[in-house]
Structure 1
Amino acid sequence: MRKENERRQLTRMLSAMGDFRLALSAADFLCEADANERYDIETLRRFRCYEQTAIISYARPFTQSKGGFPSLSLKMCDVTLSTNEKELHERVLKLRNKMVAHSDPEMMNFASSTFDMSEVVGKKHFALFSKHDEGLQFHQSTDQFRFIDLITKVQAGLYQRLHQSAQDLPNALEMKVHFQPD
């Protein structure tokens, strides 16, 4: 049983390396956003796609999954974060859990209204208008760079831990994992 738990832990760690690479790429693309620039709605949505991909991909390994694979921990990554880095790590996990992957009420931000168009249409008819917040959580370049630094630090720590495992138990890291659809 212990060997199986170790294999699941190594599998989670290896999978996390791919998640961190994706998070880092998305965060890099997010750096194209300039907090002082005014963007059209489509461009803002593109930046939000980058931001949300970075948040989800970074947080995914730290989130419990089905199938008995353990969540990644910072200890498993063999990394110690500063107070500011730890706060950012927790902020990213909270954003993932309450806004990006779920829609918790305290993170919702939109307005809606109706407009009576009955006279124009000739019968009872109300048009619905809604406006959703298209803003970014990491709109300042300093926030973007801090997020990139966090991803890089955790990824580097995890890589070093896996590298050491490869030196100690090279056969344990010989694996292929493929999703099998139902």
Structure 2
Amino acid sequence: MRTLDEAEVLDIVSQGRNAAEHVVVAMLDGLETEHPGVYRVIYGEPSDAIASINKDMANLYLDLSCDVVWVFDRAFGKPPKIENEEDWVFRRLALIDAELKSLTKEISMDERFRDRLQERFVTRSMEANVQLALLKHLENEVLKYASWKKERTRAVQITNNLLFVLVRLLGELYSAQAPKAG
């Protein structure tokens, strides 16, 4: 999977925002059918967690998540099918969660373990070819939207974190090898 540049990301996002509604709905329906675990990362607990802080930012998360799925779909095609996809997603989310927790000193843990998790975070992010231009675009959108109403700023960090998790998860999904037909 190649790395997208800023111009490509902006062009693909623009195409998605101008696409016919039925095209976007069909893409999301396909994601729900083929990758229900990934779909729940968008429309499940993460958006509910953001909504508990600020409903506007939860709605923005849903919109930007749709942009993320659109970008991956248009740039890289359909993701590979994964056996036991929901378990795969759960395991990936647990790993990402531990890695993210290692980045803050506010969560106590053995320093050697923290160092290993931080190294793994960098390695796995590179292996998943995290789309940095896409993340930058998402962060800019979150900051811009939050700047219009002060009460939204409380949800900026969680919104950005959950968008990062989604981008990383999709990167790992698209980097996964489709199971060989046996």
Q: After TM superposition, is the score higher than 0.5?
A: no
Q: Under a length normalisation based on structure 1, what TM-score does the superposition of the two structures give?
A: 0.26
Structure of greater relative contact order (alpha carbons < 8 Å, 6+ residues apart): 2
Could you say which structure has the larger radius of gyration?
1
Q: Which has the higher strand share?
A: 1
Q: Which has the higher helix share?
A: 2
